Amino acid sequence: MGEVNTGGPDPDIDGVRRLYRDSAFNKAVFDNFAGRSTSSVETTVDRLHAVIHSERAEVSRQDIVGLFQALARRGCGKFVIGRKGHPSRFQWKVDLVSVGKVATGEAEAFEPLIEPDPLLAQKEEDEFIVHPYMLRPDLRIELALPRDLTSVEANRIADFVRTLPFVR
């Protein structure tokens, strides 16, 4: 494992904090980043769109592209437009969790991006989809399920939930 350096200017802390204050959409994205337990070397537009769309009703791919372009201008990484079957994506120069924490004011500096060991790393972004569910009017839960979930696996999960003890 080692630090990833994509070159370019040092990230602009004040600029990222201004982005956070600029819109409710930006705030939702940065709050999502700050709340993550793991980082990523790369984030696709489609993946972030699915995650943020599950958290808020109105979001467009263009909103995400615009934010990624703004983050690139502020030195947080590089926005790559998808070509020849490759998705549009953001390649991080710094740790994305720290970007969220700097934006929200929880941290004073960006953490370096640590490239995961390819033998140990799972591509969580590509493997799972987060499904929000309002269990009760005041309780929202999320299930992270494999992108290629089969109906047999879905039935196994349903059977598992039926076996859970319930308190009365």
Residue 124: the pLDDT is 46
| Domain shared by 7 and 68, yes or no | yes
* DSSP annotation of 59: -
| Domain shared by 86 and 112, yes or no | yes
Distance CA 33, CA 31 (A): 5
The CATH code of the domain that includes 63 is: 1.10.10.10
pLDDT 10s digits, 110-165: 998 887 655 544 444 457 777 888 888 888 887 878 777 778 778 888 888 888 88
On the question of pLDDT at 52 being above 90, the answer is no
168 domain-assigned:
no
- HSE toward the beta carbon, residue 47, CA cutoff 13 A: 21
pLDDT 10s digits, 71-109: 999 999 999 998 888 889 999 999 999 999 999 999 999
Tally of structural domains, the chain: 2
pTM for this predicted structure: 0.66
Range of the domain at 155: 126-163
